[in-house]
């Protein structure tokens, strides 16, 4: 592939270099907030990481925050049905994100400990939606999330990012996929860590999380009116990335 510069100087470039030459200055001139909401196991985190890496933005996994809080509650035997116990526990929690040069993504730090891999266990997944529905937990996490977006140039995924955390975000994406596809994706992901897990367990867990996420009183999962729906049931990871990147570039170019 050839790209021609003034004075007909000819150089060979790769597609990503053409993208940078065309849009690089624009991206540095105008930073935006990109929110990605949707159902569990729709690939929100994967897409968010891809967009953040391509646009040189910061990726924030809001779900990791709730998972880390859940881990803290379980480790410390916090009774999350007791409001006073929840408020006391929250005051003892410090959440940060650090950039991992090896994985090229941000990882969650709970009170000084990197718990990025611990929070991905099924035992956390079984409780996170329940704990994330608690008003005090939600308020604590949302406040922290909003502070991370003060300077924009972020991609954040979750359940209520485009509706509650950043209702004025320039680009909102709502991801969905066929239930059977979601179950299969989640099963493959968990099976690598636990070969004893069954697809029925995964199916039940997803159904439970879907119900809790969409029926909770505080910040239920729903599509923002101005969000773009991305159904990736029949899309590859690369295809959905290219589509979302196109949307992002359009927003970045808009005055």
pLDDT band at 218 (very low <50, low <70, confident <90, very high): confident
pTM of the predicted model, to two decimals?
0.78
Q: In which residue are the tokens 């239930």 written?
A: 179
Alpha helices in 30-111, H assignment, sequence order? 44-55, 62-75, 83-90
Q: Residue 212 and residue 208: Cα distance in Å, rounded?
A: 6
Pull the structure tokens for residue 246: 């196109």
Say what the pLDDT of residue 15 is. Answer: 55
pLDDT single digits (tens) 103-155:
777 899 999 999 999 999 889 989 998 999 999 999 999 999 999 888 899 99
Q: In which residue are the tokens 């596809």 written?
A: 181
Helices (H) and strands (E) in the chain, counts: 9, 10
pLDDT single digits (tens) 170-202:
999 999 999 999 999 999 988 888 899 999 999
Pull the structure tokens for residue 55: 């646009």
* Rg of the chain on CA atoms, in Å: 20
pLDDT band at 1 (very low <50, low <70, confident <90, very high): very low
In terms of Cα–Cα distance, which of 134, 139, 160, 145 is closest to 222? 160
Contact in structure between 153 and 58 (CB atoms under 8 Å) = yes
């Amino acid at each position: 592939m050839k790209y021609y510069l003034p004075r007909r100087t000819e150089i060979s470039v790769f597609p990503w270099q053409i993208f940078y030459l065309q849009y690089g200055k624009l991206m540095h001139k105008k930073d935006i907030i990109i929110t990605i909401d949707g159902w569990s196991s729709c690939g929100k985190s994967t897409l968010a990481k891809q967009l953040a890496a391509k646009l040189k933005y910061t990726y924030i996994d809001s779900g990791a925050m709730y998972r880390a809080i859940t881990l803290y509650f379980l480790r410390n035997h916090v009774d999350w049905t007791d409001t006073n116990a929840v408020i006391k526990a929250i005051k003892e929690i410090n959440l940060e994100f650090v950039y991992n040069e090896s994985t090229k993504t941000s990882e969650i730090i709970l009170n000084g400990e990197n718990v990025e891999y611990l929070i991905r266990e099924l035992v956390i997944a079984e409780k996170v939606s329940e704990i994330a529905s608690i008003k005090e937990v939600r308020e604590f996490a949302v406040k922290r999330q909003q502070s991370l977006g003060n300077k924009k140039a972020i991609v954040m995924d979750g359940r209520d990012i485009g509706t509650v955390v950043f209702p004025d975000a320039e680009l909102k994406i709502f991801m969905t996929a066929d239930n059977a596809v979601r179950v299969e994706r989640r099963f493959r992901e968990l099976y690598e860590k636990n070969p004893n897990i069954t697809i029925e367990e995964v199916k039940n867990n997803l159904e439970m999380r879907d119900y809790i996420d969409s029926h909770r009183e505080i910040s239920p999962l729903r599509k923002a009116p101005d969000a773009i729906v991305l159904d990736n049931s029949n899309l590859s990871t690369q295809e959905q990335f290219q589509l979302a990147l196109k949307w992002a570039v359009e927003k970045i170019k808009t005055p």
